[in-house]
Structure 1
């Protein structure tokens, strides 16, 4: 399994727009992808203009299919990218799960 974590600092005042895009993307992107095991986006009520993506994929091929999908290209690489000030991509390996 491939785990990805993305802490994302949004441009000032872009929280609502970014959340709108993510809500639109979730069911037609990761929600429709066989190799996407989970797709979770968190906001921090104490930290405006910030989102945390936590995603799990079956393997690298599933992640590549996810990022290559038309929904991802239009909504995330396209519209959502315009809301971002800074993003960090962190790969993780699962150690323990219950």
Structure 2
């Protein structure tokens, strides 16, 4: 399993717009992808203009399919990318799960 974490600072005032795009993307992208095991996006109520993505994929091929999908290109690499202040991608390896 491949785990990805993306702490995403947004441009000032872009929280609502970013959340709208993520809600639109979820069923079209990860919700329709066989190799996407989980796709979760969190907001921090104490930190405006910030989202935390936590995603799990079956393997690297599943992640590559995810980032190569038309929905990803249009909504995440396209519209969402214009709203972020900085892109951070962190890979994680699972140690334990319950």
TM-score, reference length from structure 2 = 0.99
Task: State the Cα deviation string for residues 40-89 of structure 1 (Å, max 9, x = none).
Answer: 00000000000000000000000000000000000000000000001210
Where in structure 1 do 4 or more consecutive aligned residues deviate above 4 Å?
none
Unaligned runs of 5+ in 2: none
SS at 1:11's partner residue? coil
Match of 1:81 in 2: 81
CA distance in 2 between counterparts of 1:86 and 1:33 reads 26
Q: What number of residue pairs does the alignment pair up?
A: 98
Task: State the Cα deviation string for residues 10-64 of structure 1 (Å, max 9, x = none).
Answer: 0000000000000000001000000000000000000000000000000000000
Unaligned runs of 5+ in 1: none
CA distance in 2 between counterparts of 1:86 and 1:36 reads 24
SS at 1:12's partner residue? coil
Structural mapping, 1:58-77, within 5 Å = 58-77=58-77
User: Following TM superposition, by how much is the alpha carbon of 1:91 offset from its aligned partner in structure 2, in angstroms?
Assistant: 0.2
Structural RMSD (CA): 0.3
Structural mapping, 1:1-98, within 5 Å = 1-98=1-98
